[in-house]
Amino acid sequence: MNIDSDTKLYCLIGNPISKSLSPMIHNLIFQLNSMNAKYLAFNIDNAEYLEKAVDGIRALGIGGFNITIPYKIEIMKYIDEIDEKAKILGAINTVLNINGKLRGFNTDGDGFVKSLRDREIDIKDKKVALIGAGGAAHSIAVSLAFEGIKELVIINRTTQNAYKLKKLVEDVFPNIHINCYEIGRETSIPKDIDILINTTPIGMYPDADSVPISPRLFSTSTIFYDIIYKPQKTKWILEAEKLGCKTFGGLDMLINQAIYSQKIWNKSLMNDSIDWNYIKGEVLKNIINSLQI
């Protein structure tokens, strides 16, 4: 590990951060691009210290940082400028520091959309369903709306939260048709879904035997996307594959959102000559080895 006075520092802040893959992902990206930079993780176990942490980042000239739970919303109070999508979401996960001026972004939804584009999955004018209405669902819903989907179906345990997400999207994208349904009342859910996305932790290790909703309720032409990455293929995805459906897991989204953060921090990484497919492959191998998935 080569560290000198020119080494640029980036970091993650949140609570807890002990299981985060961000340090491994970002430091490998720095290494593969021969960048004199390091990425650390800082646990802020008390919200009262959040503003002081941000002041410290400004004062120390840390180039940029990521934010994870539970501070993605609260930290916005201490950021100077907020990107348009992040304003709509009301949450940020990436911050760029330019001479003490902090700009906030949210790369989660963009990372999801990129994983579809990479596989030449067309999103425009499609009917998309989200299982869940939490933070990940918010990011994905807004990004899909920006991409021009025609219809959004929100399936959640509590319809109250589903309707909150519906209002958030409708306020900015009034032309998108949105309906909400409750998990447990599957017979009322439309079957003609183009892309079905699980944004909940249902099926995540160690609860690997659970599925959010039966894949058999949908057409075999439906694309199933589970943002969970441990296990790499959830039971839900395996059941959909048995039906002959096209499926995706969550590792691509995880890596893509990190790459978007990197590009926000470092303009040099926007260079077309960079082989991101190779870099993503190396990161993926390291994650799989690390998680043993």
Task: Report helix angle 108-117 to 251-265, nearest 10.
Answer: 120
Q: What is the CA radius of gyration of the chain?
A: 19
> Please, is 159 exposed, middle or buried when counting C-beta atoms within 10 Å of its C-beta (0-12, 13-18, 19+)?
middle
* Coil/strand/helix, residue 28: helix
Total residues found in the chain within this entry: 293
Cis peptide before 231 (omega within 30 of 0): yes
247: which strand partners?
224
* Token pair 């058999």 in the structure block, residue: 216
For the question of residue 72 being annotated catalytic, the response is: yes
DSSP of 115-151: HHHTTT---TT-EEEEE--SHHHHHHHHHHHHTT-SE
* Integer CA distances (angstroms), 29 to 38, 107, 108, 225, 227, in order: 10, 17, 18, 25, 22
Q: Of the listed 19, 38, 72, 167, which one is catalytic?
A: 72
How far, CA to CA in Å, does 101 sit from each of 71, 124, 171? 19, 36, 30
Task: Report the C-alpha gap between 235 and 217 in whole angstroms.
Answer: 15
- Give catalytic residues, as residue numbers: 72
